[in-house]
């Protein structure tokens, strides 16, 4: 049996082809515990996007009005589909009540501080056809999901490096980042954690503004 | 990902994505979408974690009422 640092290399974790030692597994589990609930959200949203991509929004059978939405500017919209169900709100595929324009409209909990300031329904995107709009929304949502995954990896990294720096943190982080990347089907998350690791090594505790 | 000038907020409190989302009454996915659409300015900690200055939340909930789209 292989050993590393005197420990058997025998533990398997989801989404990672390699094996971990007991110390590495302890670090992995501690870090994953801190991101577990958000990771579940990540999985749920990705599952919805995977289903969404299979729906033919240009087919009349898939477009049935089921509710109406009013945005803060007074615009009236008819909802024909649910693009995404979130833990706090949803995103609807809507058509202008008195026009031909389509929109992706997000609904927020009416009692949330954000909705109190901006209204409980907000237009995210507009377009001329349901299909084009949905395609664009899915692309944007997938981008946000990758952003979410890379942030979860960064959160886990804080735990691993702060509390388990003796437990082969590079390997632990590789396993965690590959698990997150696997959900969003993209290697950018793994690449990003590599670049973050470099920045940690080069620049200690500093924050910087970002644009994504 | 494009970097901007460093945040000059001094010792202003910074919230994690989850904390900021909770404060706004939205979910993390939505909050990250706000950042991507430039509705919120965020920073990265040394470990790469997204952090949101408290002043940004105040701006979003109190003063800014412009159309989002």
Q: Is residue B4 part of a domain?
A: no
Enclosing domain of residue A183: 3-47+143-197
- Rounded to two decimals, the pTM is 0.84
Q: How much of chain A exceeds pLDDT 70, in percent?
A: 87
Measure CB to CB from residue B33 to each of A144, A161, A207 and give the nearest one.
A144
Triad B53, B55, B57: Cα angle to 5°: 85
Interface test with B, best of A48, A84, A148 (most B CBs within 10 A): A148
DSSP strand E in A118-212: where? 121-127, 208-211
Residue B21's CATH number: 1.10.1660.10
Mark yes or no for CB contact B36/A212 under 8 Å: yes
Enclosing domain of residue B37: 14-63
In this predicted structure, the answer to whether residue A165 has a pLDDT above a threshold of 50 is yes
Instruction: Please list every residue in chain B whose beta carbon sits closer than 8 Å to the beta carbon of residue A73.
Output: 67
Q: Are both A122 and A147 inside the same structural domain?
A: no
Residue-wise pLDDT for A148-158, tens only, equals: 999 999 999 99
Residue-wise pLDDT for B21-45, tens only, equals: 999 999 999 999 999 999 999 999 9
ipTM value for the complex:
0.85
Q: Domain count for chain A, please give it.
A: 2
Decide the pairing of beta strands A3-4 and A7-8.
Answer: antiparallel
Question: CA nearest B48 in A: which residue?
Answer: A154
What pLDDT does B47 receive?
Answer: 84
Mark yes or no for CB contact B30/A155 under 8 Å: no
Q: Are both A111 and A74 inside the same structural domain?
A: yes
Q: Are both A63 and A124 inside the same structural domain?
A: yes
Q: Domain count for chain B, please give it.
A: 1
Q: Is residue A205 part of a domain?
A: no
Q: Is residue B68 part of a domain?
A: no
More confident residue, A15 or A206: A15
Q: Are both A153 and A186 inside the same structural domain?
A: yes
Mark yes or no for CB contact A118/B65 under 8 Å: yes
Return the residue matching tokens 């993390």.
B28
Q: Are both A66 and A93 inside the same structural domain?
A: yes
Interface test with B, best of A31, A87, A88, A194 (most B CBs within 10 A): A88
CA proximity to A89, closest of A52, A41, A130: A41
Q: Is residue B59 part of a domain?
A: yes
């Amino acid at each position: 049996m292989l050993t590393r640092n005197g420990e058997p290399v025998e533990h398997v974790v989801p989404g990672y082809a390699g094996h971990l030692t007991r110390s590495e597994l302890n670090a992995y589990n501690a870090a994953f515990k801190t991101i577990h609930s958000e990771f579940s959200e990540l999985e749920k949203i990705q599952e919805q996007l995977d289903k969404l991509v299979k729906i033919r929004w240009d087919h009349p059978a898939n477009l049935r009005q089921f509710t109406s939405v009013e945005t803060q500017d007074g615009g009236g919209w008819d909802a024909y589909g649910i693009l995404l169900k979130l833990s706090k709100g949803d995103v609807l595929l809507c058509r202008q009540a008195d026009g031909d324009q389509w929109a992706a409209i997000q609904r927020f909990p009416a009692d949330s501080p954000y909705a109190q300031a901006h209204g409980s329904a907000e237009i995210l995107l507009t377009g001329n056809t349901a299909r084009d709009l949905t395609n664009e929304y899915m692309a944007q949502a997938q981008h946000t999901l990758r952003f979410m995954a890379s942030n979860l990896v960064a959160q886990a990294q804080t735990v691993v490096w702060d509390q388990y720096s003796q437990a082969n943190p590079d390997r632990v982080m590789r396993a965690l980042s590959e698990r997150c990347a696997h959900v969003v089907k993209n290697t950018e998350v793994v690449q990003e954690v590599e670049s973050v690791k470099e920045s940690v090594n080069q620049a200690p505790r500093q924050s910087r503004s970002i644009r994504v | 990902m494009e970097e901007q000038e460093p945040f000059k907020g001094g010792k202003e409190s910074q919230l994690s994505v989850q904390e900021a989302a909770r404060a706004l009454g939205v979910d993390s996915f939505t909050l990250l979408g706000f950042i991507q659409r430039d509705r919120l300015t965020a920073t990265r900690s040394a470990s790469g974690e997204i952090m949101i200055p408290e002043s940004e939340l105040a701006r979003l909930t109190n003063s800014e009422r412009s159309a989002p789209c």
